[in-house]
Structure 1
Amino acid sequence: MTSLSALQSAIDKAGPGDEIRLADGSYSAGSAIAIKRSGTANAPITITAEHVGKAEIKGSTGFSFSSGASHVVLRGFKLRHGGSLSVPVGGTHNRLTRLDVQLTGGGNWVTLNGDDTEFDHNVLQNRTTQGVFLQVLGPAKDMAKRVKVHHNYFSNHGFTGSNGGESIRFGLSHHQKYSAGGVVEYNLFEKADGDSEAISVKSSDNVIRYNTIRDSRGFIVLRHGDRSVVEGNILLGRSGIRFHGNDHKIVNNYVHTTANRGIVFGSGNEADSGPDSKLHDRPDRVVVAYNTVVGTTDAIHGDGGDFKPKDCVLANNILQGTGKLVSMPGGSDVKYEGNIAWGGPAGMPSGGYKAVDPKLVQDGLYRLSSGSPAVDAGVGSYPYAGTDFDLQTRSGKYDVGADELLPGGARKALTKADVGPLAP
């Protein structure tokens, strides 16, 4: 296709298995490019640029999915138009892939409301206004289910206000008790400075794993919701992890920070949040285990609040820094065991740690050396921490910290070559 009118005509006639290509060039859309047709699981409709990043959509608007449009792949376009891009409730099993998104309007750029949406190998970058790069929502009284966000590049969100500039927002406050089952993995965030929350989770039962956040003020934050897993992420620079809510697992993460506060037990303004509350829920029954936090005062920090952490666990972490390593408010109910603290006052009960040099060696990231006292030193039973941050399987007695000393498999922080439209 060599015009938007021809593209629209082809989309209107498309059936399962059809592939519609737009030739390289720059196109201005004065009205929405409507996607109303559906493919099938085995034969999706594919709407694609002839070459990735070479077909540019400008103008006042762009592609628009209709409710019910399902099994559609949107691929390879350079989006520079006004408005936003949204997959509505009722559209399922759609895939948005290898898009270059830098919209000209304000508001939230991409919204995923449909179940089983896949959002992968895209780049979203360069904005200074309030609004998120990507949000996952769903119906008014539920969440979009099983949305998968992976291998994307989120860069340079420079909004300077106090709130509303997240890179990813997974739900809103009133979604917090709804189970989403979403996965956010293998994404790279750089200069995620538009909000203190780079990844803001406000729903339940999600997995945030294997992402890299570099040179960003935004944290991974479980702001609302319960039973989520934060696993195997690499956080470099000013970023860290903060959580509120119940029954989360924070395991096998690597935090090397130049600021204070690596992993934060969030403040509690109430014991348990109601379904529509916007207050901070006290952390209950959260396990923080087998993480490595290096280079910070307050490697583990508690924000306090009227309601302190309850029935939580801090176990088998390596905490290495230059100041007090654990700062929890009085009245916190935390079980400490098996931690290694080095470089500053531990801030933990004496039975909950060993003050020994973990003998970390650096190959880009700090890892265990063969003589480390962390080897085979894990205590307690934490089977959900059975894959270390190199994605290698632990066995026997686990090594303390995020790294299991095993041959091969040394993982690196993600780079731009690993993510986005041109990545493998």
Structure 2
Amino acid sequence: MIANTFFLSFLLLFSLNSFSSNIVVDSPQALSKAVASAKPGDVIYLKDKEWINANIQLQGKGAAKAPIVIMPQTPGGVTFTGQSSIQIGGEYLVVKGFHFRNGYSPKRDVISFRINNDMLANNCRVSNIVIENYSQPERFKSDNWVTFYGKNNRVDHCTFVNKLNAGPLIVAELDDARSQENHHSIDSNYFKGRQRFGSNGGETIRIGNSRYSLTASRTNIVSNYFERCNGEVEVVSVKSGNNNVSFNTFYECEGGLVLRHGSENVVEGNFFIGNNKPFTGGVRVINPRQRVFNNVFYQLQGNNFRSALAVLNGVPNSLINRYYQVKDAIIENNTFINSGSILFGAGKDAERTLGPENVAFKNNLVLSQTNEVYTDANNDKGIVFTNNSLNDSFKGETPAGFKKVKINTISIKGYDLPYDAQFGANLKKLPLINKEATGAKWYKVVTNKSLRKPQSFIVKAAQSATIQGVVNNALAGDTIVLADEGYYKMVSGIIVSKPLIIMAAKNLKNRPVLVNASLKSLPAFITIQNGGDLTVKGLAFKGTYESFSAADAGIKSTEQPMNRPYLLTIDDCEFYDYNESTNSGFKASKSTLADSLVVINSIFHHMSGSGIDLSAEKDDKGIYNAEYTIIKNCTFTNLLGSAINIYRGGNDESTLGPFVTIDHCTFNEVENREQGTVIRLVGAQQATVTNSNFSNSGQGGRSILFQEYRWDNILVDYCNFYESGKVESFYNKATGKHIYSAKPNYANPERLNFQWQGTSPITSNQLPIGVSK
């Protein structure tokens, strides 16, 4: 009987392959037609070339042992550019070997496992694909690079490089029964980077959504490599049930694997490598009956939601999109190596009051360099600790359910890991995935080498009209040097769309001054566009000049589409004579994000608006304008508006920032209007104001305003407030122990020298309080 079955199967396969054919097509129309008429086993080759604006629909029907294969003549030989996309419908189609770059999808998805709602893909495969530089031009225009529908589909051995715009990179949709219980596979892929997005919507993978989270997906995420996927707190977001996330490597990711919705998910054999990088995370557990076992958490330094292990509190009578209580979870045979935080009851607040219940934490191995093994925010016996071990050198108190043991080490792919046959992960059976085992094998990273070394270009004041032409002709990394003191009379703003330095010539006695010499208002003297990074040094930006029109800002980010975070450094610059309340020295535009804004040794004075304005995002969705804002040794004086205005509204928990550092600054006669605020830090999650001096500022309201959440890290310390407003925060925990009210003795205020003369209040670094020059 067995022999007959084998013979019949052989005949069927021979029959299918005997009539298969290979054809070459060179247009989307020819390709769609060829797939529609293809037989099982056919191979359809796309002609090697650049396919521009190719929107391809592949509808066909292969067989399990004889799929229809669609591929380039040579792997990587077909490049999809412009606004190209692929939609797959039917059964047993294999799409492989293509390269998407230098464009973006005109549709919701770059690759979709459906053509329309009536034609889904089942038993289809996408393999050896590369997608890079394929993000929407606008940050908040959402799309996905791959979206699963149907059942039994697979994405494997693909390379995905740094998606920049909103939306998960890969999504599995469960929007009807045809896509549920789907058994999809996402395996052996290389996810190369995703930089901080500054908002929710920066996941790398999302399985399901809250609406269908009580539904089983049964998706497998196995043997992938995630490298520095930092878009938001959820690198992998599981929002459905009965999924398997196993044997993946998460390398220096600022976030983790989150069981956000759904139940009965399995997290097994993953390796989370933090290398002591800040904010690196592991697994977050929410909802009932989750199982986390045989994982390794290595030098992870995240806390709260980014802890190596975070088991959350739930919401009573939770809505489906909030937080169901953790019940009946099993966390066993995991190894935690010098990681910062194991947290039970994470997120505990006035809403999330239900502690985890009947959670078994057993047979785990914890190597800790601190005196605390874990934190339990509830201490209500909801966590049952059984037969766990600590390294014998642990110096803290051994908690119940733990014992000290002597630890041996085992070397696995360059990592010396603690090993005990009785406790922790079974390292001998852990297939540690490295990046070389994943991704498209044909893909090689191409670096754009500059044709020459960076150069400097000299521009004299009489040549002001030529600055934009010099900028256009410069290469990334070049320097434009303004050679003269006095006025540079601008008739249009400078547009920067590449990394550049614009600076004053050395040894000038006074700064070159940019002024508007046109009859039309300038949005800014310098505008940073997509792709631009900028350092400005030694320049002055004067908002009004004679009878000409004004400039609204000294420097700003573009209002045009931008998807790449930019870098801006302002050093030894001056901003003054901005006479409208909407004017600013620096102003960020909506939908733009500075990776870092660094302002040092600069002065903002005689302005009716704000000195530094990072408050364009007013949608209260947790979005903000700068990840890192560092302001040091700066003076703000005679400002009608706020000196610094940073806004992040809403209570979204997906992001880390904004990070704000204000140090050794002086604020004199700033924002004395009724209910005014000198420094507004609304929603800044990590903020310090130190060694700074406030005089005659915020008299009608506040010197500093925080609107923080209980987990935010904020501090005001070593600061002096003379005849100035209060420091206000929601939890009244912002101020440190070193707050003064001494009358300052300034060197020469008339000449804008606000250095403190004589003995100043004590600072944290023994320098005089406030600015040092």
Task: Give the fraction of aligned pairs with identical amino acids, expressed as a percent.
Answer: 24
Deviation at 1:299, TM superposition (A): 3.4
1:262-289 superposed Cα distances (whole Å, 9 cap, x missing partner): 1111231236x55xx1111221000100
Aligned residues of 2:32 and 2:59 also touching (Cα < 8 A): no
Cross-structure match for 1:414:
433
Aligned residues of 1:52 and 1:421 also touching (Cα < 8 A): no
Cross-structure match for 1:262:
308
Report whether the alignment pairs 1:79 with 2:100: yes
Aligned residues of 2:260 and 2:286 also touching (Cα < 8 A): yes
Cross-structure match for 2:33:
9
Q: Give the direction of change, closer, same or farther, for the CA distance of 1:166–1:298 in structure 2 (3 Å limit).
A: same
Matched residue type, 1:119: V
Matched residue type, 1:235: F
Report whether the alignment pairs 1:139 with 2:175: yes
Report whether the alignment pairs 1:38 with 2:87: no
1:171-191 superposed Cα distances (whole Å, 9 cap, x missing partner): 101121101111110000001
Cα distance in 2 between the residues matched to 1:299 and 1:365: 22
Matched residue type, 2:358: D
1:158-178 superposed Cα distances (whole Å, 9 cap, x missing partner): 142231111110110112110
Deviation at 1:306, TM superposition (A): 0.3
Cross-structure match for 2:504:
none
Cα distance in 1 between the residues matched to 2:397 and 2:146: 44
1:329 to 364, 374, 377: 377
Deviation at 1:9, TM superposition (A): 3.4
Q: Give the direction of change, closer, same or farther, for the CA distance of 1:410–1:64 in structure 2 (3 Å limit).
A: closer
So what's the TM-score if we normalise by structure 2?
Answer: 0.48
Deviation at 1:361, TM superposition (A): 4.8
Cross-structure match for 1:127:
163
Matched residue type, 2:261: H
Q: Give the direction of change, closer, same or farther, for the CA distance of 1:361–1:55 in structure 2 (3 Å limit).
A: same
Cα distance in 2 between the residues matched to 1:132 and 1:279: 19
Aligned residues of 1:234 and 1:253 also touching (Cα < 8 A): yes
Deviation at 1:362, TM superposition (A): 4.8
Aligned residue pairs total: 385
CA RMSD of superposed structures (Å): 2.3
Report whether the alignment pairs 1:110 with 2:146: yes
Aligned residues of 1:326 and 1:347 also touching (Cα < 8 A): no
Q: Secondary structure at the match of 2:60?
A: coil
Cα distance in 2 between the residues matched to 1:198 and 1:257: 18
Cross-structure match for 2:286:
244
Report whether the alignment pairs 1:281 with 2:281: no
Matched residue type, 1:311: N
Cross-structure match for 1:381:
none
Deviation at 1:15, TM superposition (A): 2.2
Deviation at 1:329, TM superposition (A): 1.7
> Tell me, which stretches of 5 or more residues in structure 1 are unaligned?
376-398
Aligned residues of 2:192 and 2:227 also touching (Cα < 8 A): yes
Q: Quick check: 243-252 or 143-152, which moved more?
A: 143-152
Cross-structure match for 1:232:
269
Cα distance in 1 between the residues matched to 2:300 and 2:64: 47
Cα distance in 2 between the residues matched to 1:57 and 1:120: 19
Cα distance in 2 between the residues matched to 1:63 and 1:298: 43
1:67-117 superposed Cα distances (whole Å, 9 cap, x missing partner): xx1111111100234222211263211101110123243522210011110
Cross-structure match for 1:95:
125
Q: Secondary structure at the match of 1:17?
A: coil
Report whether the alignment pairs 1:299 with 2:350: no
Report whether the alignment pairs 1:401 with 2:408: no
1:226-282 superposed Cα distances (whole Å, 9 cap, x missing partner): 0011000000011301110111110000010240421111231236x55xx111122
Deviation at 1:400, TM superposition (A): 0.5
Q: Give the direction of change, closer, same or farther, for the CA distance of 1:257–1:143 in structure 2 (3 Å limit).
A: farther
1:53-78 superposed Cα distances (whole Å, 9 cap, x missing partner): 22111122222224xx1111111100
Cα distance in 2 between the residues matched to 1:362 and 1:123: 28
Deviation at 1:366, TM superposition (A): 4.0
Q: Secondary structure at the match of 1:355?
A: strand
1:54 to 68, 77, 86: 77
Q: Which structure would you say has the larger Rg?
A: 2
Cross-structure match for 1:155:
192
Q: Give the direction of change, closer, same or farther, for the CA distance of 1:74–1:231 in structure 2 (3 Å limit).
A: same
Cross-structure match for 2:209:
172
Aligned residues of 1:250 and 1:288 also touching (Cα < 8 A): yes
Aligned residues of 1:340 and 1:358 also touching (Cα < 8 A): no
Aligned residues of 1:125 and 1:156 also touching (Cα < 8 A): yes
Deviation at 1:24, TM superposition (A): 2.1
Aligned residues of 2:154 and 2:184 also touching (Cα < 8 A): yes
Cα distance in 2 between the residues matched to 1:92 and 1:187: 22
Cα distance in 2 between the residues matched to 1:151 and 1:423: 14
Cross-structure match for 2:46:
22
Cross-structure match for 1:70:
91
Matched residue type, 2:364: N
Q: Give the direction of change, closer, same or farther, for the CA distance of 1:175–1:125 in structure 2 (3 Å limit).
A: same
Cα distance in 1 between the residues matched to 2:300 and 2:435: 22
Deviation at 1:297, TM superposition (A): 3.0
Matched residue type, 2:387: G
Q: Secondary structure at the match of 2:226?
A: strand
Cα distance in 2 between the residues matched to 1:26 and 1:289: 51
So what's the TM-score if we normalise by structure 1?
Answer: 0.85
Matched residue type, 1:108: N
Aligned residues of 1:143 and 1:171 also touching (Cα < 8 A): no
State the structure with bigger RCO (CA 8 A, min sep 6), 1 or 2: 1
Matched residue type, 1:355: K
Aligned residues of 1:239 and 1:257 also touching (Cα < 8 A): no
Matched residue type, 2:124: N
More strand by share: 2
Cross-structure match for 2:218:
181
Cα distance in 1 between the residues matched to 2:88 and 2:266: 31
Matched residue type, 2:127: T
Cross-structure match for 1:388:
none
Q: Secondary structure at the match of 1:109?
A: strand
Matched residue type, 2:121: G
> Tell me, which stretches of 5 or more residues in structure 2 are unaligned?
1-23, 137-141, 275-279, 444-773
Aligned residues of 1:213 and 1:239 also touching (Cα < 8 A): no
Cross-structure match for 2:533:
none
Matched residue type, 2:426: D
Cα distance in 1 between the residues matched to 2:358 and 2:407: 28
